Chain A
Amino acid sequence: MNRLMIELNGLKLEHPVMNASGILGSEPEHVDILVNAGFSGIVTKTFTKNPRNGYPPPIIVELDNGGYLNAVGLANPGINGICPVVERARRHGKPVIVSIGGSSLSEFIEVSIKAEECRATAIELNMSCPHVKGHGLDLGSDPSMVYTLVKEVVSTINTPVFVKLGLCDKIIESAGKALEAGASGVVLINTIRAMAIDVYTGKPVLSNKYGGLSGPPIKPIAIRAVYEVYREYNAPIIGVGGISSWRDVAEFILAGARAVQVGSVFMKNRRIVYEILEGLEKWIEIHGVSSIMDLVGLAHRV
């Protein structure tokens, strides 16, 4: 029996480690690479209705503190790019979560319907992109907007819906509204709006000036968000933010996440998933449990 197997409201994964949206995931060949890297579920790049070129480079830079700053600008091939990516993941026998973005309710609905037609295993509503105006964080930080949007999508399609939220004052409330509206779970957190300036040229480094901070510097913030949302709602949570070892994954699980997504570290280490799984196996052993699910939220028990 596979002790690492997890389940999120019907979404079954052979182990808890998926890729984070935005790490490849917009082309079928990207899916091949992610599957080879060992991810249990494939999360696509955020798809919008129309193709987007994204911002000109620089779009991603590594920072001196071990983090990354990115503003890719939701580059994606548009709605017609969804089916080839989903089909490729299915051919590998992997669950595939289609990340969906939009600037209006009707766009979210239209892209969600397409993802369902393409037979996505689940969808992830990206309500937290920190660097494209009207496409993210401004939606996710408004709990009533979250409720309306999730409710509409959930009542239109049968595919399980996860909601990805970012850091904002109302993240706990927004998570609650997403769950109340029928989301199968929440994905916490997205990158955090940030900036870097080059001191030699005196210029912001990203072409978009502002971007999203990821990597180890944001992990404690993500752990806090997962912990609080779990404490409030005891809901299925996918933890994301700064994971770079099995210990980080274990920490997210103890805080209340059932699964995790990994992004930045994959740029440095293409074998990270296998290393994490090895560590988790030992960790389960130490705790003497038969399933990793038994360790979810353990940090809340006093």
Chain B
Amino acid sequence: MFKPALKTKTEQLSSTLYLAEFKLVEPVHSKPLPLQFTNIWIPGVDEIPMSIADYEEEKQVLRIIFKVVGEGTRSLRDRSGFFGVKGFLGNGFKTRGHDRILFVAGGSGIAPLPLLTRYCTIDNCIVDVVWGVKSSDMLFNIEKVALNPGSVYYATEDCSYGFCGMVPQVLQYIIEKEGVKWSTIIAVGPKPMLKSICSTIDPSIEVYVSLETMVKCGLGACGSCVLKPLPKLLCIHGPVFKCNEVNEFLESTHD
């Protein structure tokens, strides 16, 4: 069954992004890794995959950051009361052994950052952030949601705030300017952004991408989230992959 999740807060973070907080009211015996996801059940409406933005183990408080794109996410924003949480799903990312990570987000790809910085606070890694959006109204101060981030580079496509341009170009510029001081990049965002990053980044940096596809059951049975033409399922083998594990998917025209 779904883990019962009582909504305790909804907050608008920017023109398009919202944060919702849930208290898991029954004992939970596992905790999510950064970049794992959960399928949130909105009773009578839908079950939608959501990146886990943050999780406080002692209090069993789960947070998600999301954009409203349809009936499901609208209900997620507007409804109160009980929801259901399936999982925690997917493989996630283990922070141990990574000392300086550059987290690169496009749009709502910023969502999993707080859980990543929470783990890094314990595992002594630094998380620097590049966050690009279309226009400045979609941004918010990430220190509002994330503990101890390192350097933060904001970017907008319309040049209304911070660095100017698309995420992959801004990222290239920052790496050229700062030098290769990161051993690890984690990129979260739309497929073209991930494809571009995978094909251009200095090969001395280990690049991980967190993918998005249609997830239905989340349990590895229905096969909706297959990463054609690869024999991999996002919900079992992902959502986090090294670039070379998913090149064929990133280059394909499938969604």
Contact = CB atoms under 8 A, between A and B. Distances in A.
Do the two shown chains form a genuine complex with each other? Answer: yes
A32 B46 contact: no
Contacts of A45: 223
B236 interface: yes
A25 B223 CA distance: 8
A144 interface: no
B85 to A, nearest CB: 11
Contact of A27 (B6, B25, B39, B226): B226
A60 B219 contact: yes
A29 B230 contact: yes
Given A30-B223, A57-B47, A270-B236, A200 B231 contact: no
Interface in B217-255: 217, 219-223, 226-233, 236
Contacts of B86: 58, 61
Contacts of A201: 43, 81-84
A23 interface: yes
Contact of B223 (A26, A57, A62, A263): A26
Interface in B25-80: 25, 39, 41, 43-44, 46-48
A199 to B, nearest CB: 8
Nearest to B41: A58
A72 interface: yes
B1 interface: yes
B231 A29 contact: yes
A96 to B, nearest CB: 16
B247 to A, nearest CB: 15
B222 A32 contact: no
Interface in A30-53: 30, 32-33, 36, 45
A36 B231 contact: yes
B4 A198 contact: yes
A27 B217 contact: no
Chain B facing A: main interface SS: loop
Interface string A57-80: 111111110000010100100000
A54 to B, nearest CB: 8
Contacts of B48: 57
Interface residues of B, number: 33
Contact of A62 (B1, B43, B228): B1
A266 B222 CA distance: 12
Interface in A168-205: 196, 198, 200-201, 203, 205
Interface residues on A, range: 35 or more
A272 B97 CA distance: 31
Nearest to A34: B231
A22 interface: yes
Contacts of A59: 216-217, 222
B2 interface: yes
A302 interface: no
A56 interface: yes
Contacts of B219: 60, 62, 267
A270 to B, nearest CB: 7
Given A57-B217, A270-B220, A198 B2 contact: yes
A118 interface: no
Interface in B185-217: 216-217
A196 B81 CA distance: 20
Contact of A57 (B25, B46, B226): B46
Given A29-B231, A33-B231, A64 B1 contact: yes
12 contacts: A27-B223, A57-B39, A58-B2, A58-B47, A59-B216, A59-B222, A62-B219, A198-B1, A200-B25, A201-B81, A207-B46, A263-B221
Interface of B: 1-2, 4, 6, 25, 39, 41, 43-44, 46-48, 81-84, 86, 216-217, 219-223, 226-233, 236
Given A201-B83, A205-B1, 20 more contacts: A24-B222, A27-B223, A29-B229, A29-B232, A30-B223, A33-B232, A58-B39, A59-B216, A60-B217, A63-B1, A64-B1, A70-B217, A70-B221, A196-B1, A198-B4, A201-B82, A201-B84, A205-B41, A207-B46, A267-B219
